[in-house]
Amino acid sequence: MLKMLIMGPAGAGKGTMSELIASNFKVAHISSGDMFREEIKHQTHLGLQAKSYITQGLLVPDEVTIQMVGNRLKKDDCQNGYLLDGFPRSLAQAEAIEDFNINAVINLQIDEHLLVDRIVFRRICQQCGTIYNIKLNPIENAEICPKCCGKLYQRNDDTYEKLMVRLESYREETKPVIDYYRQKGIVYDVDAGQTIDDVYKQIESILKNVAEEETK
């Protein structure tokens, strides 16, 4: 059974790859953000605890997040495998789920210059939500959506300055986690600067090999 993590900085393609992995390997995709929203929506005890921190602009403590993930992984849709996205974010979190026996960590790596191009030149249509990149895939008018003629906008955190802050934070958070799993021999580095098809082919090959090893 595949019990996986996917890691990578903003813009590396975690969301796209997670959807493809979950669909093709028939595993549950567990995004930490979605999990928080679901718990808060249903006003569970853990959800209310998380909300109390989030509304103050504070990080949700490890013990709350860990318990939430533990409960989520016990649900029926995780019995055939799962893909964790956005968790663990700290060494303490990684150590806390040791008993779940993670067997593959997909580490999306990408050149910083390409990452800047992907994020800083990203534009989103206010009307239909279509995402464009006005540098990597130029369109006739960088302010108007060619699909619906809606206005294109740049997200507040899609600036160079904010991206640099996010990247530094990501490096500080994830290096101990990746080192922890690399010592276990289960980190698989993937070049996320390729086309979507080529990135997924590399991931698919890795996961098929892991799945085969698990059945031996």
pLDDT digits (tens, 9 = 90+) for 11-51: 899 989 999 999 999 999 998 888 888 889 999 999 999 89
Establish whether 14 is a catalytic residue: yes
Establish whether 155 is a catalytic residue: yes
**Residue type, position 103, single letter:** N
Asked if 62 contacts 70 with a C-beta cutoff of 8 angstroms, the reply is no
Q: What is the pLDDT of residues 115-170, one digit of tens each?
A: 999 999 999 999 999 999 999 999 999 999 999 999 999 998 899 998 998 888 88
State the pLDDT at residue 119.
92
| Residue 211 tokens, joined | 């799945």
Helix (H, G, I), strand (E, B) or coil at 6: strand
Asked if 20 contacts 35 with a C-beta cutoff of 8 angstroms, the reply is no
Q: Which of 41, 155, 184, 201 is catalytic?
A: 155
Asked if 80 contacts 27 with a C-beta cutoff of 8 angstroms, the reply is yes
Establish whether 123 is a catalytic residue: no
Q: Which of 51, 135, 162, 166 is catalytic?
A: 166
Q: Which of 3, 72, 89, 118 is catalytic?
A: 89
Question: Cα dihedral angle (133, 136, 140, 142), rounded to 10 degrees?
Answer: 40
With CA atoms as reference, report the closest residue to 10 among 106, 90, 110. 110
